[in-house]
Amino acid sequence: MKRFAKIKKIQFPVLSDAKSEVIRAFGLVNDNYAAGSYAHGVAWPIILVIAPDGTVSHRFSHRNHHIRPDIDAVLKELGKK
């Protein structure tokens, strides 16, 4: 992930969750894929905003993997504070 982040010039922490432990903890596992499927263990598309105290302050998601959170709507919502 470090190499990927460097190549893509990502300026924020990136999480590698090869065993899907974090997405399971947050209840984000896309259950449309059965065990053994190439996509088993993938997450729903989501944006989580983590507050300075480590809690999730905002969650933007949809239960359809074809629908991604709209970044303009996310930024608008975050700008309300």
The confidence score (pLDDT) of residue 12 equals: 84
For the chain, what are the domain ranges? 17-78
Q: Which long-range contacts (CB under 8 A, 24 or more apart) does 13-22 make?
A: 17/43
Please choose, from the candidates 78, 11, 21, the residue with its C-alpha nearest in 3D space to the C-alpha of residue 51. 78
* Cα angle for residues 77, 5, 44 (degrees, 5° grid): 50
Q: What is the pLDDT of residues 27-71, one digit of tens each?
A: 888 888 888 998 888 888 888 898 999 898 998 987 777 888 888
Stated pTM of the model: 0.63
Per-residue pLDDT band for 81 (boundaries 50, 70, 90) equals low
